[in-house]
Amino acid sequence: MARSFLFAQDTGDAATTRLIATAAQATGFMKGEPGGARPGWYVPGADNSAVLGELHAALAATYPHAGPAFYAVRLWTNLLWQPAYLAVIAAHIHGAMPGLGTLSQHRKGIYVDGYRLLPGVPTAGTPEELIAEAARQLRPIAAAMLGEINALTKLKPLPAKRLFADRMLSLMVWLSHRRRDIPAETIERYTALWLEALGLTGQGELEPVSAPSGQRLLIVKRKGCCLDYLIDPDRFCATCPKQDNAVRVARQTANAIAEL
């Protein structure tokens, strides 16, 4: 893929600040800053055993009956969500991809929430080019994260892939709500590109449903389970594959219609 640059080399600070502002505005909850990691943060490529051990211990103390599989899943989903959000926002809203490998993350209690991104010149391109660029960066980042988790506890590659796919599928549904100018068919095409580029094809899919108006809406048909039912057995996520399929479709369709 040919690479081009949206901003001049001396405007990396401004470019990074704009992306962080765009992510905060688009989500209402992503809290980022330009700059390097603060002490005790998760840093790609560094020794993260302490921060992961602290997160694992916090999860075990908060949910003592949930069990090791739940703690492993929560480690994985906590580490993935911010890089994944930033990648999708950069590709489809901001229009340029940062160096995702410079993203450090803050642990707060049982959550990873808050990030810092080193200033740098982002890569510009079409959505298709930016999906490929994001996946090129995200695949080794995710592989390293999974290795770190498995040094502490056990998370097999297949459930990890399915949970990664769940995150991307949910993000594409989120994008369909934020970018009403993008047709559902185009969102589906982008989704297929994301899953293929990340090596996640077949680990979940988007499912089309219809609003009362006849409008085509998209919901998630996932294969992975977040195991949240282990802390609340009487409650399943709207997308949970363990519930009756008709209930899953009805719950997600209602949520999609509410977003219109």
pLDDT digits (tens, 9 = 90+) for 42-95: 999 999 999 999 999 999 999 999 999 999 999 999 999 999 999 999 999 999
Average pLDDT over residues 196-211: 97
- Residue 1 scores a pLDDT above 50: no
Average pLDDT over residues 192-215: 96
- Residue 235 scores a pLDDT above 90: no
Q: What is the pLDDT of residue 9?
A: 45
Share of the chain above pLDDT 70, in %: 95
Q: How confident is the model at residue 234 (pLDDT cuts 50, 70, 90)?
A: confident
Q: How confident is the model at residue 11 (pLDDT cuts 50, 70, 90)?
A: low
Q: How buried is residue 223: exposed, middle or buried, by Cβ count under 10 Å (0-12/13-18/19+)?
A: middle
- d(Cα 128, Cα 112) in Å, to the nearest integer? 29
Share of the chain above pLDDT 90, in %: 92
Q: What is the pLDDT of residue 6?
A: 41
State pTM to two decimals.
Answer: 0.94
Residue bearing the bigger pLDDT, 142 or 9:
142
Of 11-15, 128-132, 156-160, the range with the lowest mean pLDDT is 11-15
Taking CA atoms, 242 is separated from 92, 125, 226, 236, in Å, by 31, 39, 11, 8
Report the mean per-residue pLDDT for the chain: 94
Number of separate helices (H) and strands (E) present in the chain:
7, 8
Taking CA atoms, 35 is separated from 93, 102, 105, 115, 232, in Å, by 22, 9, 12, 9, 38
Q: What is the pLDDT of residue 13?
A: 85
The residue written with tokens 């992961």 in the block is 52
